[in-house]
Amino acid sequence: MKFTLPPLPYAFDALEPYLDAETMEIHYTKHHQAYLDKFNAVVGKCEELESKSPEDMLRDLHNLPIEESDKMIIKNQGGGFVNHNIYWQSMGPAREVNQKLVEEINGVFGSVESFKDSFTKMSVSHFASGWGWLVRDKDGKLKAYTLPNQDSPLTLGHEPIFCVDVWEHAYYLKYRNKRQEFVEEWWKALKLL
C-alpha cells in the first residue's frame, strides 16, 4: 500500500456531543479507508504517478499522463482521501483560534458571525453530496464555495483552509436528515474560528 491513513489527531469521542463517536469511527475507519484503498489501487498500477503526492495529483489532475478513467478515480477516490485529511485536521476538542484568519474573515465577510451564517446556508443548501470549503484562491484571497462529490479545490488551483463534509454519511446516524443542525453543531468542533 502506497499511502496510509494519517492517524486521527484525537479520540473518536473527542468531538462529542457535536460529532458523535459512532459516526466518527465509521466515517474514519470505513468511509475514509475505502477512499484510500481505491486510490491506492489506481496509484499502484500507474507508474507515472510514482513520486507524486496525492495533493499534487489533484493539482495536476487534468495533465496527468494516465487514462481518463484512471483520472476519474484519482479525482473521486484521491479527492476523498485528501478532503477527509483536511476535515479531521481542522477540528479538535480544544480551540486553536487563528487570529489572523479571524481578522481576514472580518475584512472580507464583515464579521465571523455573518461569514458563518452564509457558509452554513451555502453548505446546507448544496444539492446532493459534497463539501463546503473555505479556500485561498490563486491571488491569496479568501473564497467560500461548495464543490460536488469529492472534487478538490486543489484542482482549481486553490489552497484549502477548512471544509465541512455534507455527505449524508457524515451526519445521518446522529442528525438523521437534519443537515442544517449538523452544520450548526460542526462549527463548535472546528478549532480555527
Residues that bind Mn ion (CB under 5 A): 165, 167, 170
Q: Which residues pair with 165 in a beta bridge?
A: 131
**Helix boundaries (H) for the chain:** 21-26, 33-45, 54-59, 68-73, 79-90, 99-109, 112-124, 172-175, 179-189
Q: Tell me the HSE value of 160 on the side-chain side, using a 13 A CA sphere.
A: 25
Q: Which is nearer to Mn ion, 75 or 109 (CB)?
A: 75
Q: Using CA atoms, how far apart are residues 89 and 73, in angstroms rounded to an integer?
A: 24
Phi-psi region of 129 (alpha: psi -120 to 50; beta: other; left: phi over 0): beta
As measured in angstroms, the least distance from the Cβ of 80 to Mn ion is 7
As measured in angstroms, the least distance from the Cβ of 117 to Mn ion is 24
- For residue 63, give every residue at least 6 positions away whose Cβ sits within 8 Å of its Cβ, in sequence order, or none: none
As measured in angstroms, the least distance from the Cβ of 27 to Mn ion is 6
Interstrand relation of 159-165 and 142-148 (parallel, antiparallel or unpaired): unpaired
As measured in angstroms, the least distance from the Cβ of 173 to Mn ion is 13
As measured in angstroms, the least distance from the Cβ of 165 to Mn ion is 4
Q: Which is nearer to Mn ion, 32 or 71 (CB)?
A: 32
Q: Which is nearer to Mn ion, 106 or 187 (CB)?
A: 187
Q: Which run of H or E residues covers position 159?
A: strand 159-165
Q: Which is nearer to Mn ion, 151 or 165 (CB)?
A: 165
Q: Which is nearer to Mn ion, 43 or 130 (CB)?
A: 130
Of all residues in the shown chain, the one whose CB is closest to Mn ion is 165
